[in-house]
Amino acid sequence: MKYAIVFPGQGSQSLGMLSDLADNFPIVKDTFSEASDALGFDLWKLIQEDQDALNQTQNTQPAMLAAGYATYKVLTSEVDLSPVCMAGHSLGEYTALVASGSLGFSDGIKLVRTRAELMQAAVPKGVGAMAAILGLEDEVVVKVCNDYAGSGIVQAVNFNSNGQVVIAGNKEAVDATCEAMKAAGAKRAVILPVSVPSHCSLMDDAAVEFKTAVDAVEFTMGSVDVLHNFDAAKAADTNDMKAKLVAQLHKPVLWTGTVRAMHAMGVEKLIEAGPGKVLAGLTRRIEKSLTANAVLDSASIAATLEEIAP
């Protein structure tokens, strides 16, 4: 069976995540110890005990990278993995790069912490917003955003699956556009509980600063191709890889296109490594012939290994 490994992004975190895996696989806590050393505080303790701290962007991003990578390490400790490719949704793209060998784990942890801090600093809390628009074609969502004529900006930023697009921008612009989306026939327009309007032009200044941080980190071409959010394609070289990461900060996430690209590469199954089941849930909406497994505890690890073991 040909499979790809994908990694979730911000929003899939939960208090106590990976506790079952940690009880059964020591490599989970070993991975978090390495992350804690890079950050200078106990990341495992934070994700087990402090919901408010976990939901702060500067903690969520390294926590999700560590959680996804720890889950991947559990898989690799049990079977010789041979994925066709990897990808991750937003923050998850960094987990994919670490898992592929393109980016060192400690470097990745520190880089996403910096990314989160720059994102949070770019837009004061309460100024930005994001909303999920359900039940409209991508083109309609883009047009409604483009037709907004009030103050501030609003843009389509996450193309997650057929009929699910996330918009982001200034709060008043997002609120007004949600009403316009309903008028255009959207089934729902749901404001998301986030403090940062990711992947829109409000992140332009943060992207300029982030480029400096990315340029200071050593990247290599990994052992497995990673499809990037920016264009649903692999990087040509490490300079291209860095450019795609900087662009991802203030440009849309093309997840629908990424999954279709995987399907075109012959992928039959997506394995979501890390907390939650968001990406697994989106898969069949994008391409009905694909199956997906969410790997997040001992039982799901065992079931997945049974399917993919050579």
Residues with active-site annotation: 90, 199
Distance of alpha carbon 154 from alpha carbon 99, whole angstroms: 34
Q: SS3 of 64, please? A: helix
- The rounded distance, in Å, linking the Cα atoms of 258 and 278 is 15
CB-count burial class (<10 Å; 0-12, 13-18, 19+) for 238:
middle
196-212 b/e with 16+ CB inside 10 Å = b? Answer: bbbbbebbeebbebbbe
Q: Measure the CA angle with vertex 98, ends 204 and 61; round to 5°.
A: 50
- Residue 218 has a CB neighbour count (10 Å cut-off) of 9
* Token code pair at residue 13: 């975190």
